[in-house]
C-alpha cells in the first residue's frame, strides 16, 4: 500500500515549476517542427505520484497532417493510419515523413539516408519511371520491383518518439493489408502541429509559471519569517 502523503506548499510549488518547464519544452519543440514534414506533435500532461506531487508525462498525437502536393515521384504520403518502415543502425523505425530520395546505389532512402524497407528488404530502383500504387506496389517502367512495408499499431498505442519524425515500433505492430492502404505518390504529409494553438498554450504556461514562482517565493519568505520569530527569545 502507498505510504502516507507527505507534501507541503514548497514541494508542491517546486513540482509545479518542473511540470510547467517540461510542458514549455514540449511546446517549443512542437513549434520548432511546425513545418517539418510528417512531424507529430507531443502533448505534455500532469500525473500525480503516490506522494501527491505532480510529474509530467508526454504522449504523441498521431493525428494525420494535411497532404501537400509536390509532383516529386519519390515523395510519398499515407492517407489514414500506418507508417513507412526504415532500417537504421539502431533497428527498424516508423516514420510518416515520405520525403525519399535515391542514394549512390539507387536505394530508396529517407531524409537521414537510411533505407526504406519493402517486403524484399531495402528497395533498389533501376533507372526509369517510378510508379507507386495506392497499395504500396513499386513499379519502374511498368515492371514490379517491390512492395512498400506499411505497418501500424492499435489505436491508443503510445509509441516511443525517438526524435524528429521517427518512432520506435513495439510488439503491437502489424502489417496494413494491401486493400486498406492509401499511398499517395507526389505528396507529402505536413506536420500536425497547430502553431496558433501551440503559441496560445505557451503563453498560458508562461503565466502559470510566473504565478507558481510568486507562490514559491511567498512561501519561502513566510517560512523564513516563521523560523526567525520562533527562534527569537521571549
User: Residue 115 gets which letter from DSSP?
Assistant: B
Q: What is the pTM of this model?
A: 0.78
Grid cell in block for residue 119 = 517486403
User: Residue 229 gets which letter from DSSP?
Assistant: H
Closest CA to 172 of 190, 151, 189: 151
* DSSP state letters, 32-92: HTTTSTT---EEEEEEE-TTS-EEEEEEE--PPPPEEE---TTBEEESSS-EEEEEETTEE
**pLDDT number for residue 229:** 52
Q: What is the mean pLDDT of each run of 10 residues along the chain (234 residues)?
A: 49 69 88 94 74 71 95 97 96 97 97 96 97 97 97 90 92 94 97 91 76 63 53 54
Residue whose C-alpha cell is 529517407: 110
pLDDT for 169-225, tens place per residue? 999 999 999 999 999 999 999 999 999 988 888 888 777 767 656 666 665 565 554
SS3 104: coil
* DSSP state letters, 153-215: --TT--PEEEETTEEE--TT-EEPPGGG--EEETEEEPP---HHHHHHHHHHHHHHHHHHHHH
**pLDDT number for residue 31:** 93
**pLDDT number for residue 5:** 43
**pLDDT number for residue 217:** 67
Amino acid at each position: 500500500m502507498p505510504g502516507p502523503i507527505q507534501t507541503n506548499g514548497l514541494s508542491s510549488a517546486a513540482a509545479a515549476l518542473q511540470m510547467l518547464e517540461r510542458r514549455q519544452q514540449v511546446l517549443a519543440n512542437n513549434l520548432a517542427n511546425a513545418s517539418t514534414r510528417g512531424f507529430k506533435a507531443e502533448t505534455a500532461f500532469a500525473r500525480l505520484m503516490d506522494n501527491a506531487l505532480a510529474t509530467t508525462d508526454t504522449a504523441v498525437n498521431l493525428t494525420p497532417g494535411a497532404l501537400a502536393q509536390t509532383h516529386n515521384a519519390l515523395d510519398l504520403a499515407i492517407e489514414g493510419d500506418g507508417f513507412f518502415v526504415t532500417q537504421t543502425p539502431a533497428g527498424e523505425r516508423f516514420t510518416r515523413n515520405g520525403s525519399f530520395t535515391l542514394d549512390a546505389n539507387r536505394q530508396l532512402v529517407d531524409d537521414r539516408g537510411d533505407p526504406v524497407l519493402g517486403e524484399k528488404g531495402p528497395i533498389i530502383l533501376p533507372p526509369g519511371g517510378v510508379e507507386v500504387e495506392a497499395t504500396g506496389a513499386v513499379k519502374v517502367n511498368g515492371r514490379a520491383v517491390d512492395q512498400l512495408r506499411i505497418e501500424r499499431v492499435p489505436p491508443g498505442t503510445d509509441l516511443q518518439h525517438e526524435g524528429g519524425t521517427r518512432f520506435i515500433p513495439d510488439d503491437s505492430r502489424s502489417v496494413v493489408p494491401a486493400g486498406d492502404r492509401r499511398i499517395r505518390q507526389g505528396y507529402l504529409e505536413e506536420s500536425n502541429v497547430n502553431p496558433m494553438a501551440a503559441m496560445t498554450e505557451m503563453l498560458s504556461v508562461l503565466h502559470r509559471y510566473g504565478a507558481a514562482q510568486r507562490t514559491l517565493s511567498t512561501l519561502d519568505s513566510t517560512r523564513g519569517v516563521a523560523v526567525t520569530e520562533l527562534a527569537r527569545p521571549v
